[in-house]
Amino acid sequence: MVPRLALACYVEDADGGKRLWVARRSSTKQTWPGKLDHIVAGGQPFGLSCRENVVKECGEEASIPQELASQAVATGFVSYVSILPEGLKPDVLFTYDLKLPPDFVPKPQDGEVEEFMLWDLPKVADVIAHTDDYKPNCGVVVMDFL
């Protein structure tokens, strides 16, 4: 099991409502092409703290500068088991929330994402509940955020 991290990057509107940044994975990605995903996520490498990795991944995947990325708040973890042809695969995702300024627009940086979209939370919940558009392990983390 390789620990991973996932960020819920969101915007808070003037009325207190929240919107979530959502990524669409590149259609050329080997795994889960075209699926919806977190805008920042990744494996947790040896030798970096989770916080250091959050800052690194924010810059690499979404062009989020260090001064914003360092404001991410650790919210816990989500554990789950995937059923694969080879057997069961336990996983754990360390979760973070990152409030972004309303005028900040993340930019795909590493070629793994086709686009970032800013969605209202009811739309996010509806897509998770009624479609298979999200990469499977993302829905668990997003529902935890909601």
- The CATH number of residue 85's host domain is 3.90.79.10
Distance CA 21, CA 125 (A): 13
Q: CB neighbours of 130 closer than 8 A, spacing ≥ 6?
A: none
Domain range for 100 is 4-145
Check: pTM over 0.85? Answer yes or no: yes
pLDDT by residue for the chain (146 residues), tens only, comes to: 778 999 999 999 988 899 999 999 999 999 999 999 999 999 999 999 999 999 999 999 999 999 999 999 999 999 988 888 999 989 999 999 999 999 999 999 888 899 999 999 999 999 999 999 999 888 888 988 88
Domain count, the chain: 1
CA gap 112, 135 in Å, rounded = 14
